[in-house]
Amino acid sequence: MSIVKTKIVASAERLFTEKGYESTLIQDIADDCSIAKGSVYKFFPSKEDLYIEILEERQLTLIEQRERIQEDASLSPRERYVAEIECQLQFFLTHRLFVTNGCRQPPPYSHDRIGPYLFQMRARLMNYNRELLVRQYGEELRPLAWDAVVLFTAITNEYLLLMTSADKPLSVQELAAYIAGCMDDLVRGLLKREAKPMLADPLMAEMAACSPESLLEKVQRCKDVMFERVASTIPELNVPNSRKRELEQVLELLKQEAEVPEPRRFLLLALLNDLAKEHELAPYALQMRSWVEKFMKA
């Protein structure tokens, strides 16, 4: 990489981190580098291309660092595990742009190339950490691996935010060992009580494939899971049996209507409103209602 391009990338990464992507102009980057605006465009056709290249280059750096740790025969499996956590923490502290992006849900740029790229970047990291945790705790964790990844990510992100946003002076080395210990306790508890996964593989298919689905594709894949959860909850409700039978009929009508080529919006909403009257079913009904409202105009 040329000296000028290296300077542009370093300046852009800092400005994107400090000001945000949308508030940073190519002119700002050019001024920061003391070059003409046209000189930036010689290397990058657009701000979008510059942003994506930064993310891609930095992520490749992280991958290389992790591979070196995995290939280090002098480390025990436990030392390797802690070292990989430390590597991630240090990387995100050095490249705070990733911390900013990692904490945005959903990705802020959903109508261009950046949104899908941010999704893929996050999915790759989640897949990597999923395998990291299974390597450390064994294949018995596999059914709960996605839940373990979410817990690991939540812990890691909160500490990173405290270090970057609240300037908490924590030792990265000590924090890595601490997080590893926390995960020991969490995984031990999950396995001991034979916890049922919240995030079964079908729900995480797009993450596993590192390929974002459209909202319609997501709904088509998840609606059967939602129906199954409603069906399994109805028998457990503290309501008269006559009401349970009524709810089962409502669910069956809902399934039938959802499968027709042109489902009737008013009927779907009426059925979902009936399900939502029961407190335990309300979260599922509200989620499905949001799908109907997004896809079907009044």
The string over 233-253, giving b where at least 16 C-beta atoms fall within 10 Å of a residue's C-beta and e elsewhere, is bbeeeeeeeeeeeebeebbee
Last residue of a domain, one of 202, 228, 243: 202
Residue with tokens 């002076």: 169
**pLDDT single digits (tens) 64-89:** 999 999 999 999 999 999 999 999 99
Give backbone dihedrals phi and psi of 151, rounded to 5 degrees, phi first. -65, -45
CATH number at residue 95: 1.10.357
Q: Is 229 helix (H, G, I), strand (E, B) or coil?
A: helix
pTM of the model: 0.73
From residue 192, give the alpha-carbon distance in Å to each of 129, 139, 185, 188. Answer: 22, 14, 10, 6
Q: Do residues 67 and 169 share a domain?
A: yes
**pLDDT single digits (tens) 157-179:** 999 989 988 889 999 999 999 99
The count of domains in the chain is 3
Q: Do residues 91 and 198 share a domain?
A: yes
Instruction: State residue 105's pLDDT score.
Output: 39
Q: Is 3 helix (H, G, I), strand (E, B) or coil?
A: helix
pLDDT < 70 regions, the chain: 1, 98-111, 212-216, 218-219, 296-298
Q: Do residues 80 and 196 share a domain?
A: yes
CATH number at residue 38: 1.10.10.60
What whole-number distance in Å separates Cα of residue 157 and Cα of residue 226?
A: 29
Instruction: State residue 102's pLDDT score.
Output: 46
Instruction: State residue 34's pLDDT score.
Output: 92
Domain that holds residue 255: 214-295
Instruction: State residue 104's pLDDT score.
Output: 42
Q: Do residues 163 and 256 share a domain?
A: no
Last residue of a domain, one of 202, 228, 259: 202
